Amino acid sequence: MTTTAQVWVCAAHHPAFRCGGWAWLRRNQGEVAGAAGGERNTTAGRMALSALASALRGLPQGHDLGSLRIQTTSAELAILPGILAGRAQPEEDLDLWAQIAIAAKSYRLDLVRVPVDPATPTAFVAAWANLAMDKAKAAGPFTAAIPKTNLAKAPGLAVG
């Protein structure tokens, strides 16, 4: 069975306070899910990788499950195709790179860098990433699912 899963990821980082947040939305086989999280003493790259690793957790695994379209606002993920193809080596955050490589091995990846557009799910995940950054700055590290009632408000997603 082949399918096309879609993932939207966004990370936010405040360099002066070294806190960051991330969020993702995933649509796979008609199911929509999302989560957000944040950390203190982190980097923008780690937040982008945390978002993608979290989004890929729970995807079905097997042989050639189809394509996975990843839309991101994060420049830090541009190296992903090269790393997964073995043409580049990550230098930091090896724990997250390993999680991503394992979770993505059953899919053909299509990574697209996109701007924050109010009419797309990208704006929704960007807002959640910023909220997560603020929460992490005030209260420390966390991860939480985005409530279904909020997912229903994401522009460009049909949540049933």
The whole-number pLDDT of residue 65 equals 67
Question: What's the whole-number mean pLDDT along residues 81-96?
Answer: 90
> Residue 44 in 3-state DSSP?
helix
State the CATH number of the domain containing residue 99. Answer: 3.30.420.10
**C-alpha distances in angstroms, 101 versus 22, 107, 112, 113, 141?**
19, 10, 18, 19, 24
Would residue 159 count as lying in a domain?
Answer: no
This prediction's pTM: 0.91
Structural domains of the chain, count: 1
Would residue 105 count as lying in a domain?
Answer: yes
**For residue 31, with 0-12 CB atoms within 10 Å meaning exposed, 13-18 middle and 19 or more buried, which class applies?**
exposed
- Kind of pairing, strands 31-40 and 19-28? antiparallel
pLDDT digits (tens, 9 = 90+) for 18-33: 999 999 999 988 889 9
Would residue 160 count as lying in a domain?
Answer: no
| Residues spanned by the domain of 112 | 3-151
Element (H, E) at 95: helix 94-104
pLDDT band at residue 140 using 50, 70 and 90 as cut-offs: very high
Q: Give the bridge partners for 42, in sequence order.
A: none
The whole-number pLDDT of residue 28 equals 86
Element (H, E) at 20: strand 19-28
pLDDT band at residue 1 using 50, 70 and 90 as cut-offs: very low
Would residue 80 count as lying in a domain?
Answer: yes
